[in-house]
Structure 1
Amino acid sequence: MGRLHTSADFIVRDERPFNPKDAEDTLELLDLCVEALQDSRHATREKALAELAGALEHQLPALDELDGRCFSIFTLCRVCVKEGSPKEVRLAYRAVGLLALTLRSGPSELLFHSVQPLARAFRERDDAPPVTTVAAIDCLAAVTFAGARGRDDAERSLKALLDHLITPSAAVSSSRSASKISGGGARRKTITPQVLVAAVSAWAFLVTTMVSEADALIRKADGAAWNAAVATLAGLLDHDDRGVRMAAGEALAVCVELNLTRHALRRDMDAVAAKVSELASEFPGRGSNNTTLPEQRDLFGQIAAFLEHGERPEKSLPTSVDGCVALRVSSWAKLAQLSFLGRFLGDGFEKHVQGNELLKEAFSYGAREGKVLSISKKKQGKKTPDKDSKVRRGSRSFLWDYPYRAHDDPETLLRIGWQALR
């Protein structure tokens, strides 16, 4: 086996112009992006990452054609996260998240090695721009959604979001709520509303992937941890930013719907219900942007109706050009999934919900409701791929040219991308 190359070796290549218009199809575009990501110029790598993200948003390459390329893309994105410009870092996080959703199974298990480095990205890099931290949060959620093999995997991501972003913010925003919350040793630091909204949204989204209404009753031993999480979210209802309050309200509705508040004290839930009613009838003046006040009133009005009468939200989203086919959701859990995935995929959401089996399963798209297992059930039944399984080699997968036989040992290739982050 040849020498194990470092990240610096990846960019020792002849610098050649990167022109995505030269690609005749999506796979050739991915190959051109892989080659351009090994360029020493920041501008070229930024352009390649943007094209890569765009391709993964709007196209769904055949999985048998993507296998060999995914490790090249994954590794080079990690190098960009460590050594690239701020724009490269943000785009690389997005590309990895999109790659995880595109792979859907099999190789996505290997992508789950990203969880710990991603958690460190928003735990230790306090000076990172908010937009970069949001990209890391979204990437963590997407990778967990696609690659989690069970509850333990999902819980690691939930804990990272709660301990390092959500709980410290709730403790700062409300001293009353802070007395109820165990900080878990997390450092207090200033977290922008933009980052906090993303963290709460991702947390609620991931909760829906590991818990369903059909699951067995929450054990009392686990109830204490969920009670602490609910208290943390309740503390955010007092946050100065309206977006944060709304994200926390949606997350609380998800917790109630999934019976995660089963062991909560009645007086605590009564306090939550009272606060929800207050926000549903809030007068103008609080918050920096009163143009979103009607949206807040509507949201918390729906949450109040759910807490009082069990009324579920309903939303329909057209998923065809003529509007004849629509995606319909009628629960807070599905609404949280739709909210996150719709925001993360952007214009590519329609394409993915039509052709991505992972999203089709999540929303029972194309099947009658009740005929598709919940995501949490599917993850519990998912088998881990055989460690000796081979990875197909792409037609122009440039990284395979190195002396070591990475195509026989994909873990080796992954270590190259991650070693600088440890």
Structure 2
Amino acid sequence: MPRSRRGNAARKGARGARSSGKADSQASDDEVASEVLSHYSSASESTSIAEEVAGNEAVDEQAQQDEVEDKLKECIDNVMDKSAKTRQVALESLRLAFSSKTLFDFLLERRLTLTDSLEKCLKKGKGEEQSLAATVLTLLCLQMGSGPEGEEVFQSLKPLLINILTDSSASPVARQSCATALGMCCYIAAADVEELVPCLTCLEGVFGSSCAQDGSSAPSHRSPAVRVLHCNALQSWSLLLTICPGSQIKKILDSHLPKLPLMLSSDDVNLRIVAGETIALLFQLARDMEEEFFYEDTDLLCTKLKALATDSNKYRAKTDRRKQRSIFRDVLHFIENGECHEETIKFGLECMYVDSWARKRTYHAFKEALGSGVRHHLQNNELLREIFELGPPLVLDAAAIKASKISRFEKHLYNSAAFKARTKARSRVRDKRADVL
């Protein structure tokens, strides 16, 4: 082939290659552009999906809130029903709702209606219904707080609580709940000392019969219901001591510190324990007022406490002996050395230290009233956060709450490592070669 024709063919081939390369590059550019467009479209689509999911979650949350409020409205209406069974079911539902949620805004405009309903239940109901009504009243005061709303609720029903509590012919179950309700509501909503003293006197009159009159031994109450009533009255009385002024505490020390040790001889383990804790509380309040407080019968008291802290009588249940020994060891240690056993309460991302007998009595009173809902209220209820000096409720987003929780797999790894370390430690102790001769 001539050289010129071969060169022309080569140039044609080169032009064809360049044109095909340009076409390929244009095709690749189009692919990149389409990929970018598809990426942004998918990103915008995912963003719109996320926004839609968030919107749906907000709608679902609002729908759930509306459903809960509708059920609560129905329960409040049912408290006035003619059927005693329906009223009891409604009261139990309100008890569960009030103890597990903070409902101030919802209850604010319905508190008068609910107070009237509870008053009728306390007046005309029988034992179980009266007991539930008193419990719901306690939780209603706790929801309303220490402001004028809570004070209004307490003032309207305080005379009725006192009447039932002091009526020996009333149902023991109703009297037990009224003793607790009187102490809790007075603690939350009493405006001044003039309202506090009558409640203290009323409660003293209930548990006073558990103190011996002759100074030898406490009377034996055969009825378990009476024992529980005296326990509840003494617990409420000791709760109110934590907010008494110094002048009132001095009077109580003179009148009750010689009497309370007589209750340590009671047949009921719970009454003995509550009496021991109340004695420790009185010693703390006395030392807060006077650092060098001296009680002339301290040696005799410590002898009784030591006997209870080391009690091994077989006629008492094993669990009762263990519980009693643990409590009275702490009581004895505090009276002798002035040191209180510290307890740490964790809730959400926070924790609280219970490091005094006054703080312990207050926390356990709210814990008994709220049950498993006490941690929710410690996080969100302004009244409890003010009482325990926790500051305003923390505002946490979902990401912070999720980050604070460990996964199930991490928890499994932690438990496995702890189990292995515990097994090794126990194996070394169980090995005969580790015995010390």
Superposed pair shares fold, TM > 0.5: yes
Distance 1:272 1:286, change over 3 A: farther
Among 133, 152, 168, the residue aligned to 1:110? 152
Q: Does 1:301 align with 2:329?
A: yes
In terms of fraction of residues, the more helix-rich structure is 2
Q: Deviations over 1:198-234 (max 9, x none)?
A: 11111111211335xxxxxx45x96344322222321
* Offset of residue 108 of structure 1: 1.0
Secondary structure of the corresponding residue to residue 344 of structure 2 = strand
Instruction: Find the partner of 1:193 among 227, 233, 244.
Output: 227
Residues 64-106 of structure 1, C-alpha deviations (whole Å, 9 max, x = no match) = x422200111110110111123221111111111000000022
Closer, same or farther: CA 115–239 of 1 in aligned 2, 3 Å: same
When residues 291 and 87 of structure 1 are mapped into structure 2, their CA distance, relative to the original with a 3 A threshold, is: same
CA distance in 2, matches of 1:237, 1:326: 34
1:270 maps to: 299
Task: Give 1:31's match in structure 2, choosing from 61, 68, 73.
Answer: 73
Which one of the candidate residues 91, 97, 111 is aligned to 2:132? 91
Query: Contact conserved, 1:177 with 1:231, CA < 8 A, in 2?
Result: no
In the other structure, the counterpart of 1:240 is 267
The residue aligned with 2:24 is none
TM-aligned CA deviation for residue 135 of structure 1: 1.0
Q: State the Cα distance separating 1:132 from its structure 2 match.
A: 2.1
The 3-state SS of whatever aligns with 1:345 is helix
Mark the CA change 1:330 to 1:151 in structure 2 (over 3 Å): closer, same or farther.
same
Residues in 2 aligned to 1:42 and 1:228: alpha-carbon distance in whole angstroms: 44
1:355 is matched with 380
2:318 alignment counterpart = 290
CA offsets 1:153-198 (integer angstroms, 9 cap, x no match)? 22221111112x11112136x74268xxxxxxxxx99772212221
Q: Which residue of 2 aligns with 1:169?
A: 210
Flag structure 2 segments of 5+ consecutive residues without an equivalent.
1-62, 393-437
Matched, 1:60 2:89: no
Aligned to 1:214: none
The answer to whether the 8 A contact 1:26-1:59 is kept is: no
C-alpha distance in 1 between matches for 2:389 and 2:103: 22
TM-score, reference length from structure 1: 0.70
8 Å contact from structure 1 (residues 168, 189) kept in 2: no
Conserved in 2, the CA contact under 8 Å of 1:26 and 1:55? no
Q: C-alpha distance in 2, partners of 1:177/1:365?
A: 43
Q: Given the superposition, is the C-alpha separation of residues 195 and 310 from structure 1 closer, same or farther in structure 2, using an over 3 Å criterion? A: same
Match 2:85 to one of 43, 47, 63: 43
**Structure 1 unaligned runs (5+)?**
1-20, 179-187, 212-217, 368-422
In 2, are the aligned partners of 1:284 and 1:290 still within 8 Å (CA)? no
Contact 1:93–1:139 (CA under 8 A) maintained in structure 2: yes
Percent identity, aligned pairs only, is 24
Report the secondary structure of 1:227's partner residue. Answer: helix
Q: Partner of 2:353: helix, strand, or coil?
A: strand
Cα distance in 2 for partners of 1:340, 1:224 equals: 24
Q: Is the 8 A contact 1:112 1:143 kept in 2?
A: yes
Equivalent position of 2:359 in the other structure: 334
Q: CA RMSD in A?
A: 2.8
1:341-386 CA-to-partner distances (Å, cap 9, x unmatched) read 111111121111111111111212258xxxxxxxxxxxxxxxxxxx
Say if 2:243 is the partner of 1:209. Answer: yes
Q: Distance in 2 between matches of 1:83 and 1:22?
A: 35
Which residue of structure 2 lines up, in the alignment, with residue 139 of structure 1? 181
Work out whether residues 80 and 88 of structure 1, in 8 Å CA contact, stay in contact via their aligned partners in 2: yes
Residue-pair matches, total: 324
